[in-house]
Amino acid sequence: MVDVSKLRAFQSEAQGTATDLGLPVDALTDKEIQRWGRSFERQLVLAFPEREISDLFLRRQAELLLGAMVAKNQMTAEIDGEMPGSGKIGGPLVIRAGFLGIGDDWEDASPFATGSPQNWIHSGTTLLGGSSGIAIRIGENAVFVVVAIGSLHPSPKLESVQLTIDGKEKPIILTGFAQKKSDLKIREIDSALVWKKDTTILGKVFFSAAYGSSVADYPYLLGAAYIKEPQLRVHDPASLCGSSAVRDVNKVVLTT
């Protein structure tokens, strides 16, 4: 059962964070909070059997709720859970690879060359078809909140990730997946990344040459996506962002 009073407290915390970051937000109504809470439980807690991942999402509820408040302000529509009504906003949802132009799934970015930084999130993916090594840009119908980076490969080799956000290189994120004895391959980040309309992102990954000239690995983002309802009806990622024509219509992810 959704604890609305607890989520109201998280919303107050999120409002303070928004003020600190200068993010424009709109508060959720109790009805929206109820829907948000149901979607959060189904999409981000119950959907993951790993206790560590569900605990991660539970710890980061205020930041994930902040994304909903940003999305409501940006898209001027109600937050309506995982099956939104006409013209409303879906979320929180898991972050789909196609929402960021990676491909049909996170596996589509593989394989990667070793020994030097390689493009991961960029305009030059097969799906987006833009220029390699150039940032993507978030469209007006999407907001993302990223709280961790993981790998879906059963034996990941990913050593580190570097993000360039709005043209500013960020410190590398050391994953150390190959050195961890745990079966769970996630790296939580200290502060959530909120990607809204016109945010530009370039993501690069690094793999040691000790594994040969190339490796198969499947890095992915953990967090929440907020997407406008018409765009959530687009099933095929190629029909969502696979050409300039559909990208310009759907305005979820764009090339730069």
**pLDDT one-digit tens code per residue, 16-58:** 999 999 999 999 999 999 999 999 999 999 988 888 899 999 9
The answer to whether 256 touches 200, Cβ cutoff 8 Å, is yes
pLDDT at 198: 98
pLDDT at 50: 85
The separation between the first and the last C-alpha atoms of the chain, rounded to the nearest angstrom, is: 43
pLDDT at 180: 61
- Cis before 24 (ω within 30): no
In the chain, % helix, strand, coil (3-state, to 5) comes to 35, 25, 40
pLDDT at 1: 77
pLDDT at 185: 87
Distance of alpha carbon 165 from alpha carbon 74, whole angstroms: 19
Domain ranges of the chain: 4-255
Distance of alpha carbon 168 from alpha carbon 185, whole angstroms: 27
The answer to whether 155 touches 240, Cβ cutoff 8 Å, is no
Mean pLDDT in consecutive groups of 10 residues from the start of the chain, 256 residues: 92 96 96 96 90 92 98 98 97 98 96 98 97 98 97 93 98 81 80 97 97 96 98 97 96 97
Tokens of 199: 């945010």
Residue type, 160: S
* DSSP, res 42: I
Summarised one tens digit per residue, pLDDT across range 149-175 is 999 998 999 999 999 999 999 999 999
pLDDT at 176: 79
